[in-house]
Chains A and B, each alone.
Chain A
């Protein structure tokens, strides 16, 4: 039986779309407040150095400058040892990465603040910088940072809810190895001996940037009561509140974060890096402080995504059954620990059934800006390694690479490397559905011509999905409209989807529902919009709040109409007796009754609050068809597809859009995106010219196919997380396609012209 839905499962355009297409939507930089001043940071030109002298007197004297701040001017309660990136607002004695803020100038005009930066005198003593991921593993490597005492590892735990056989680092551990873990089961060495085919390779994935178009930004005011008001480009108003309260040493009740639209975050804007500095200065000045990163500052010193080095060893029987997998994954966390090592290492061995498995994970620190999340953090790197290895194995076995994947794909009950068993998942369904896509049917459509080579590749990807408690309220207004309030930051259209959920639950046209993200002093709590969890966690709360409101209305109506609540239904804005539609009370009347002066009827206020719902891993297969010019190494992406298990698509229009965006990013990781540091640790491409985000001319029309394997309790109607799985596999698919096209394989992401020509043996050395 198929259920029919009136609102959910429908293609619903964004309800606030008109503001977005007319330039009316307000982002942080668009705001101006009275008495507002502008902050600019002086950033270190070295990757590792001691600050021997810091003289800001000339900058302080510059006309228009309101204040100049160094670490010495910061509140005394802030830790000075660089334990936590968020607390390390300005470098204190030691610079640990290129672009680290060393001092801040505040002025009436942003341009004046910028001019005054030039007047700050700093004397540095350069220290050896550790940059290469393998160098960082060495026992005799120079330490990346002066002190490792008190290092905060909470970031690491936040990335993944997984338990790990965590081996504490010991005295013998190399100085820059900040985490080591091993997962194992069975006997891999014996399995390798008994295998028919063994494939052993190593892979590298470069540092990449989230590439949101709106740079980091924040405005913070602090009044004489010590109450902070914040506007900032963030994925989480409540996590911003939490972070700022900790840094400022004030209760969370003193920090009010307003919802403003965010121009993209993709994981980078989980931590309030744009708001900490203005918050601290606002406290000192008692004036609103605006702090907008330039693009170059954002590329140099925000929180980009880790590079990784991964060794794999895969064993199989002649029939294609995988018998063992061994891997060693090294993630570079930059100058602060907290890499997505565990998430990446787990997914590295999570797509297939491996009776014998051993994964060693290592996190190292280097003299670079510290890493942050990027959409399924750690996963594109790991997926590149495993899915390249599987493709090579298919070739060695002479098997179809898709059939090989189907044969070994995990299903419910299979174990992840961390020892946990999968709940209900849709990987096999996704792989089967792949064969029905236009992509698959047309995979042989364009022959190679003019010396160019066409190839097809694909790769499996997945993400376990995060979760957190959430809450929401649904309130009936006097005119019969409904106001929904959440605390979740809407980026991709979640508020529109919430309206669909409420519309479905209340039987009320969506035009009469208004969903707003409230500020943190008013809104019900929601976790950060990350981990592919906003819709499924907050959506459950919204669904419950709507049901709660409906129950309250049914109670009133049942008393009025002298019937049982069970006999009532809510259709088209009225609550009526089933089978007797003339016996009805409209939402308008209920609204009037529940708000009117002197009315005995209570306000209809539905409340929904849930803990972390059941896990709902989402799997994809992504395909890419490429045309490679074997003489120039150029790659032209002809077709791309993503088949994804989304559980249940509340709004297929936005689900498709989010998947297409994830695919685009994943292809960027595959062919063009790479942060390039030179041998001194100075970022050489801090512009969007040289950090190459794919343009409309670099991408094809991206096909999507939604598979729905709903998981009860994971999200409303069984919805799963959507945002992260589609970035997992695109780079791997692209490299597999290049390999199919030219018969040579690239082992380092991205697959640039140079790397492809090198793989083809066309370069000397």
Chain B
């Protein structure tokens, strides 16, 4: 592993100051993504060598989980996935989130991996993560997946770069209409997660709106909505460790059995968590049954453009949408 300096930040403010001061500094929490990244020596014209690591886990209040009926859930971005999975207030009020945080990686990684880290982790594309490939994301001018091995790449919204968003937690947050609290030199701001992720169309280098000297400090989830239902599903090759081939977080608000509102979000299919407004449009105002769920699933993938090796993902995504709708609706 290449040399790094290590700074422990006692407060968020210290962390931001350090990031602002050093262009090659990076915040580190659980480190399970970032250290792998550094060990793999991933660099390029637009991908600096991170050589100063600012430890933010030393920030005492950063891992707090608070819940109130009026304000909903406030999750410090440094809360570990295990903290969240075992938190009563999460299990009781947000089963969708409780399910999603139990899926990433392995138990040993969830014990240190934070929710902030899961949201902000870099894509797992095996070209991006291969030192030999100077791809768009590192400042190069090619996506090697287009002509290469692309069984784990995007089927939707790919453009220039065909990564898929790797997070299990992010689609759940979008489905729950969560917001990100971001702290930077100019102060604090709150941004809905629907505006948090950035695809290659906007900026091929990054995956979210965080600037170099900004940190995600808190995740805010609105109070649980009465008569809402949800489902989280994930398809992988193995029972642990694997990133999603496709995952889906579905949230429905039912009114007399009909869908009043919904959010259907998939990862593993597009460069950002993919909210399927197409599927949502199909089910709005209707009762979910097998036929409608299938129709929504087909509609959701109309714009899919699979590459040479990943057409199977289209099938899997359709299946998950259909099952997820039926499971959430209890149909």
Contacts and interface: CB of A to CB of B under 8 A. Distances in A.
Given A684-B149, A753-B245, A697 B239 contact: yes
A21 interface: no
A632 B311 contact: no
B-side interface size class: 20 to 34
Given A111-B1, A754-B309, A632 B238 contact: no
Interface in B200-246: 235, 237-242, 245
Interface in A659-712: 671-672, 676, 678-680, 682, 684-685, 689-690, 692, 694-698
A671 B3 CA distance: 39
Interface in B228-286: 235, 237-242, 245
Given A679-B148, A757-B315, A752 B237 contact: yes
Given A684-B126, A763-B311, A676 B149 contact: yes
User: In the complex, which of the residues B40, B132, B245, B319 has the most CB atoms of chain A within 10 Å of its own CB atom?
Assistant: B319
Contact of B239 (A698, A758, A762): A698
A523 to B, nearest CB: 39
Contacts of A762: 312, 315
A-side interface size class: 35 or more
B240 A697 contact: yes
B93 to A, nearest CB: 28
Contacts of A679: 147-149
B151 A754 contact: yes
Contacts of A754: 151, 309, 312
Contacts of B147: 679
A764 B304 CA distance: 13
A258 B3 CA distance: 35
User: In the complex, which of the residues B151, B237, B241, B242 has the most CB atoms of chain A within 10 Å of its own CB atom?
Assistant: B237
B144 interface: yes
A115 interface: yes
Q: Is the interface of A mostly helix, strand, loop or mixed?
A: loop
A697 B12 CA distance: 39
B2 interface: yes
B144 A678 contact: yes
A465 interface: no
Given A632-B235, A678-B149, A754-B309, A45 B132 contact: yes
Interface in B292-318: 309, 311-312, 315-316
A227 interface: no
A632 B320 CA distance: 8
B123 interface: no
B316 A633 contact: yes
A166 interface: no
Contacts of B148: 678-680, 684
Contacts of A634: 235
Nearest to A754: B312
A343 to B, nearest CB: 29
A634 B312 CA distance: 12
A676 B237 CA distance: 15
A633 B312 contact: yes
Contact of B316 (A632, A694, A698): A632
B44 interface: no
Contacts, number: 80
Nearest to A695: B240
A764 B149 CA distance: 18
A765 interface: yes
Contacts of B144: 678
Interface in B118-137: 124, 126-127, 130-132
Given A115-B2, A682-B130, A753-B235, A764 B311 contact: yes
A114 B3 CA distance: 11
User: In the complex, which of the residues A676, A684, A697, A762 has the most CB atoms of chain B within 10 Å of its own CB atom?
Assistant: A684
A698 B238 contact: yes
A135 interface: no
Contacts of A689: 124, 241-242
A631 interface: yes
A685 to B, nearest CB: 6
A115 B238 contact: no
A753 B239 CA distance: 14
A632 B246 CA distance: 10
Contacts of A694: 238
B153 to A, nearest CB: 11
A754 B147 CA distance: 19
User: In the complex, which of the residues B2, B124, B148 has the most CB atoms of chain A within 10 Å of its own CB atom?
Assistant: B148
Contacts of A682: 130, 132
A765 B311 CA distance: 10
Contacts of B2: 114-115
Contacts of B241: 689, 692, 695
Given A679-B147, A684-B130, A757 B312 contact: yes
B126 A753 contact: no
User: In the complex, which of the residues B1, B148, B315 has the most CB atoms of chain A within 10 Å of its own CB atom?
Assistant: B315
Given A45-B132, A757-B315, A762-B315, A692 B309 contact: no
Nearest to B147: A679
B319 A695 contact: no
Contacts of B316: 631-633, 753, 757
A84 B2 CA distance: 34
Contacts of B1: 111, 114
Nearest to A112: B3
Nearest to B233: A632
B311 A690 contact: no
A296 B309 CA distance: 24
Nearest to B126: A684
B238 A692 contact: yes
Contacts of B309: 754
Given A695-B240, A695-B241, A764-B311, A690 B126 contact: yes
Contacts of B130: 682, 684
B163 to A, nearest CB: 14
Given A672-B237, A690-B126, A753-B245, A115 B3 contact: yes
Nearest to B235: A632
B303 to A, nearest CB: 15
Given A679-B148, A684-B149, A672 B238 contact: yes
A76 to B, nearest CB: 33
Interface in B172-224: none
A755 to B, nearest CB: 9
Given A684-B130, A690-B126, A631 B315 contact: yes
A754 B2 CA distance: 38
A593 B238 CA distance: 62
Contacts of B315: 631-633, 757, 762-763
B244 to A, nearest CB: 12
Nearest to B132: A45
A684 B126 CA distance: 6
Interface string A100-130: 0000000000010011000000000000000
A456 B265 CA distance: 36
A694 B312 CA distance: 22
A629 B238 CA distance: 14
A682 B126 CA distance: 11
A296 B241 CA distance: 17
A382 B240 CA distance: 30
Nearest to B239: A697
A678 B130 CA distance: 12
Contacts of B311: 763-765
A676 B127 CA distance: 12
13 contacts: A111-B1, A631-B316, A632-B315, A632-B316, A633-B312, A634-B235, A682-B130, A684-B148, A692-B238, A692-B241, A696-B240, A752-B237, A764-B311
Given A753-B237, A764-B311, 19 more contacts: A45-B132, A111-B1, A114-B1, A114-B2, A631-B316, A632-B235, A633-B315, A678-B148, A679-B149, A682-B132, A684-B130, A689-B242, A692-B241, A694-B238, A695-B239, A697-B238, A753-B235, A757-B312, A762-B315
A-B pairs with lowest CB-CB distance, top 3: A697-B239, A631-B319, A754-B312
